[in-house]
Structure 1
Amino acid sequence: MSGQMKTFRSLLFVPGSRPDRFEKALAAGADSICIDLEDAVPPQDKAAARAGVIGWLEANAESYPACAIGIRMNGLDTLDGLKDIIAFSETSTRPNFFMVPKASSHSALANFAQLLAIRSLNHKPVALWAVVETVDGLKNASDIAGTCGSRGGVLFGGADYSLAIGTSMDWEPLFHARSTLATEARVTNGGLMDVPYLNVKDEEGLRAECVRVKALGFDGKACIHPSQVAIVNEVFSPSEAELDWAKRVIEAGMSQDNRAVLLDGKLLDIPVYLRAERILSKAGMI
């Protein structure tokens, strides 16, 4: 199941204690699903959920190549987190990625990554995603992103972060954290995903927040309901205007051996060419 990662536009969370929803999540059209063993599972159900998820992964290891499948573990500093590590280290089947909540420093993630590497000698490497949702996590975002590497990434946990700083989840109080992550979490060119929009019935609010987050440089947004996936995918996919511009930039650059050139009166240089290539890459055109 593990393989080369790609940038996610959408990541759909599904409770680990609800295996009846796994197939529905896979059919929702998200670039990735993340089976949640942490917040979505009450303490008394964690053991059963863990065993059930591992059993489901083993039964469906090669069935869903089009959709990346990840596991959000319990915190690495909790007993259930340790049980997760042991349980997944003892199975021969791995998800495409592990997501670690409340990532606050490099050290814990690095230890976990080392354990994964040791246990992956006979498997392809598993990507690591960190949820930055604490003040310390934001301060250490660059180191955390470095630990995840270019195959993984960072998810902004806006709900817990807003609780930590004593604010609402409105745009203004979370703008600093998002802007910081847009820079610090790019240290290894890994992925960057935004917190889910919690009002699943507010489609216009979801769309507006996606547009704002995309403008900051985020690759995509997590979802908590299948109905959110289509809007998220649409906003984070390159528009026809963006694709047309990118094609023209690449064509102009090729005609001038990528030297600085004017297009529509604007200077094109290496950073502009690279931005155009990134747009075409997201659309699967290069």
Structure 2
Amino acid sequence: MGVMKPVRSMLFVPGNKSDWIEKAITSNADALILDLEDSVPPDLKVEARGIVQSKLAWLAQRGQRIFVRINRSPHLYDFDDIVAVVGQHVEGIVISKPCGPEDVDCVSMMLSEAEYRNGVRLGSTRVIPLLETARALELAYEIATHERVGAIVGATAKNADVARALGYVWTPDGRESLYFKSRAVMAARAAGKLAIGGVWQQVRDLEGLRKSSLLDRNLGMTGELALHPSNVTTINEVYSPSPEQVAYYEGMIAALDEAQVNGRASTIYDGEHIDIAHVKTAREIVALAKSFNA
């Protein structure tokens, strides 16, 4: 399937809120996660499925990347959800609480059947697992290597599933989650996939959000989940190279180019020693910035 296109912000939108779905495109989130699971009351899940299905083409026409979080029972993911949304407009599905790679195998087979029924290319639908069980976090690399998986999510939230599974006590500075977030980053990077972090529940505290997002970015996360449209701008800024950073790295590339013309593979730039390895990083950052600006 190739590497999944970078994503800085993935905004959850309750699937039963038709007007919220339409308004969500003004948030500038890189992707929407239309939610059929925890944000939808049990008696509205069938209605939500229909609403989400009816909005897919409309969102796609406006250039919005779309993922859908599906429901699961204690034993299986919801095939009715999958059949309803799989198609040319949905980039992938988000799955909650996988116990391990076998759950990804299971949902992959269900996706293949839905793709076959709905006339889309087999294997074209991505899977993004939310690593919310202790076993899934322990087997993060095995999960990340599945060919359908485009990203894995190593997110934390106060009193949510991961906190319950691991028994940690949430703190604003995130010390208690450094190990398993870094584990998710390592697994994703080793498998050539994206590492997604978050999730900030105190949605009105934008300064706290920025600090939390910077921590995840510094750990190696490439983007994060968002719970409210007001959080998207901050998240996009944190995960985008700034104009100053782009200028710095463009200058680094030029400095090494000049050194190589003079027969050297290293030089001093802005007071620091740089060589080919540093410029590889610089080129990646400049290319990433251009992709987001486009």
Does the pair score TM above 0.5? yes
Give the distance between the partners of 1:195 and 1:177, measured in 2 at CA. 13
Q: After superposing the two structures, state which structure 1 stretch, 220-229 or 153-162, moved more.
A: 153-162
Show the counterpart of 1:284.
290
**What one-letter code is carried by the residue in structure 2 that aligns with 1:272?**
H
- Is 1:142 equivalent to 2:141 in the alignment? yes
Show the counterpart of 2:234.
231
Cα shift at 1:83: 2.7
Listed one character per residue, the Cα deviations across residues 193-248 of structure 1 (whole Å, up to 9, x for unaligned) are: 11221001111101111111111111112111111111111111102332122212
Q: Is the 8 A contact 2:4 2:194 kept in 1?
A: no
Give the distance between the partners of 1:173 and 1:62, measured in 2 at CA. 39
Give the distance between the partners of 2:244 and 2:197, measured in 1 at CA. 24
Equivalences for 1:211-226 in 2 at 5 Å? 211-226=214-229
Show the counterpart of 2:267.
262
5+ unaligned residues in a row in structure 2: which ranges? none
3-state SS, counterpart of residue 120 of structure 2: coil
Show the counterpart of 2:163.
162
- Is 1:82 equivalent to 2:83 in the alignment? no
| Equivalent residue pairs, number | 280
**What one-letter code is carried by the residue in structure 1 that aligns with 2:79?**
L
Cα shift at 1:155: 1.5
Give the distance between the partners of 1:148 and 1:213, measured in 2 at CA. 25
3-state SS, counterpart of residue 27 of structure 1: helix
Give the distance between the partners of 1:108 and 1:94, measured in 2 at CA. 24
1:228/1:168 CA distance change after superposition, 3 Å = same
> Structure 1 vs Structure 2: percent identity of aligned residues?
29
Listed one character per residue, the Cα deviations across residues 106-128 of structure 1 (whole Å, up to 9, x for unaligned) are: 12212322443454464351222
- Is 1:63 equivalent to 2:66 in the alignment? no
1:280/1:269 CA distance change after superposition, 3 Å = same
1:97/1:56 CA distance change after superposition, 3 Å = same
Equivalences for 1:177-192 in 2 at 5 Å? 177-192=180-195
Equivalences for 1:99-114 in 2 at 5 Å? 99-114=94-109
TM-score of the two chains, using structure 2 as the length reference: 0.85
Give the distance between the partners of 2:287 and 2:45, measured in 1 at CA. 39
TM-score of the two chains, using structure 1 as the length reference: 0.87
1:173/1:126 CA distance change after superposition, 3 Å = same
Give the distance between the partners of 2:226 and 2:23, measured in 1 at CA. 14
RMSD between superposed Cα atoms in Å = 2.7
Show the counterpart of 2:151.
153
1:4/1:179 CA distance change after superposition, 3 Å = closer
Equivalences for 1:16-31 in 2 at 5 Å? 16-31=15-30
Give the distance between the partners of 1:43 and 1:30, measured in 2 at CA. 27
Q: Is the 8 A contact 2:3 2:193 kept in 1?
A: no
1:113/1:183 CA distance change after superposition, 3 Å = same
Give the distance between the partners of 1:204 and 1:63, measured in 2 at CA. 34
1:205/1:128 CA distance change after superposition, 3 Å = same
